[in-house]
Structure 1
């Protein structure tokens, strides 16, 4: 019987072929499904790893599997292949919405070591080391998210909480890679991009035009005033479709679904790579549920 928050039989059938078969040196790992269910349970409840229920096996085994599969990119492959399965039947809606959301970091999230494989992985997928920053809200991280037209995650980045949204837009788009089931290059370019005023900058609009990406981004008031003050040299106002802009709410709804998992709503993980890995697993679960 499948427990609450655990993988269904259909979801497991999609994930199982993407996982390593053995633990190396001729040994066998503890049941993969049991371990992933343990990771999901911890993500949903946000409890310390040592308090993991016995039905999921030793907590050290579950956490070690999270660490190993973060290092070898297993979680990225799972999300990519889940999206591929859907795109093969034209389910992915290529009107992309982007936004960010701040996450309060628990005091236990600070103090990670600066050396080792986990630190290297964190630097690769997080800006500024372990993606922790201090502001008036305390210790925070920020999730940058790109979702398809149904509000399902395609690309995830983590930065310190005080980091701006606009500099992460192009790296976020670069993270979208949906391989074809047959021959052909992975698809990366959306049909349309929707974003709020935080991404309104002339250099960003020029970069999107160079990539051939149509976009709907409202113009900031000061940018509009500056353009008008220059007269004809300021150029035409950017095109803005109010009706299309209303579709941006899908990214807000996605954040709401992700933050139903308490370990994502509050960051407890010291390593940005482990926090992002949990984001990827939960994102894959959202695709499988859809």
Structure 2
């Protein structure tokens, strides 16, 4: 039997540990010794995989309290740990020649939310609850390059340029870091000539289906990878329903899930 998915492997921990800030304990009145970061991270992954409420996190597994895990997740997200980890993993994939820069693919997906969100998360229709949306951009093989959380009333095309700009500068190869693919593929929800011009201005060729045309344009041959990546993302049960009132906590889970998917691809390709 394989290890539980919330157990942090040695390979993953070697990449995360250098990104975490070290806090010196006070000499006088040091207080209770903090729980090791690796154990707390296992508790965060347990919540991400099982969707258990923070207060019901099993203490007998050694993760500490749910509030301890929540605070570390918040602090690490504010320090940019997950974003830097994602960049490190992307650089390793790029160095191994796995990233497909010939094209990138964008799409979005609605997510249910059973609690009120704090930022741009409510529908404008009367009586409807919050309905956040995940916006995702991947490379040609489905590796997540960036993910954005918005409210459900945000049109897909309005997040096209923010998604392109959210792709980090990926190192790992000789020469300047790479952040732009050659061609961008998208469905009819992104059909707008104004945005096509702005995509071209960024040095990317837009391949976006037009409204009113018959189905069977052939773009699905390239776009299926982003649908598969959404399936991977929503395989983390915490991302299927937004329980967090704070958008930054849900965004932290989103970026952490992208890191885990990228690390999974790195393991399958390089090991």
TM norm. shorter chain > 0.5: yes
Alignment pair present for 1:53 and 2:28: no
* Deviations, residues 119-139 of structure 1 (Å, cap 9, x unaligned): xxxxxxxxxxx2311258632
Instruction: Indicate conservation of the 8 Å contact 2:209/2:219, yes or no.
Output: no
Q: 2:162 aligns with which of 171, 181, 194?
A: 171
Q: 1:131 aligns with which of 120, 139, 143?
A: 120
In the aligned structure 1, how far is the partner of 2:241 from the partner of 2:205?
Answer: 35
191 and 182 in structure 1: CA distance in 2 versus 1, 3 angstrom threshold:
closer
Structure 1 residue 29: deviation in Å? 4.2
TM-score between the two structures when normalised by the length of structure 1: 0.80
Say what the alpha-carbon RMSD is for the aligned residues: 2.4
210 and 5 in structure 1: CA distance in 2 versus 1, 3 angstrom threshold:
same
Greater fraction of residues in helix: 1
Structure 1's unaligned 5+ residue stretches are 113-129, 225-240
Partner of 1:10: 11
253 and 140 in structure 1: CA distance in 2 versus 1, 3 angstrom threshold:
same
Alignment pair present for 1:104 and 2:91: no
In the aligned structure 2, how far is the partner of 1:143 from the partner of 1:38?
Answer: 24
In the aligned structure 1, how far is the partner of 2:198 from the partner of 2:209?
Answer: 16
In the aligned structure 2, how far is the partner of 1:196 from the partner of 1:24?
Answer: 53
Structure 1 residue 24: deviation in Å? 6.3
Structure 1 residue 79: deviation in Å? 1.0
More contact order relative to length (CA 8 Å, sep ≥ 6): 1
In the aligned structure 2, how far is the partner of 1:211 from the partner of 1:24?
Answer: 48
Q: 1:257 aligns with which of 222, 232, 239?
A: 232
* Aligned length, in residue pairs: 254
Alignment pair present for 1:277 and 2:268: no
Partner of 2:268: none
Instruction: Indicate conservation of the 8 Å contact 1:132/1:140, yes or no.
Output: yes
Partner of 2:100: 93
Partner of 1:205: 196
Structure 2's unaligned 5+ residue stretches are 266-271
Worse overlay, 16-25 or 73-82: 16-25
Structure 1 residue 183: deviation in Å? 7.2
